[in-house]
Structure 1
């Protein structure tokens, strides 16, 4: 057995991946190499096309984030992650999907970034 350098999860030795001098579990590796862009015209087109065919289907986490923003109208990104008890990475992943669906958007503030309704 071996331990992930990032999250300290115990994994089989062959499941760890080398990245940037660290030995990472699959989840941490994917989080490091995945580059999700919130402003991606092709992703927006794909999301809107899927919505048109299948209707709105959100994961439980996406529903939680959307409900928080609907209730508060605008929430700082760090505060949103804290209130939902998520890491910044988790928040960014869920926000990115909802941004592509044009349900939420980010706004720059003098003290950081916030999330608001689209």
Structure 2
């Protein structure tokens, strides 16, 4: 077994449409840290789905639902830390406003 520590979502602005941010390709991935920082002047909501291979984002895999991130707040998403994605699973996010939330995540890929 090989474990690789990785920046699975390099810092980027979250889109205001449901967007795949990371896919576990031929690995199992454990999320160690997930941060959402609001760089705007207003509260923006954030949602995150952990989706199994061949599934689509929906209520059945929603982990963070429309969590309000206050202006200037950095939220560390404790509900995502320790979650596991099997091979083919992916992280999908949705922000209520584009170019307002900076997201980043790190984790371990296990082969």
Q: What TM-score do you get using the length of structure 2 for normalisation?
A: 0.26
Choose between structure 1 and 2: higher helix proportion: 1
Larger Rg: 1
Higher relative contact order (CA 8 A, sep 6+): 2
Alignment TM-score, normalising by the size of structure 1: 0.25
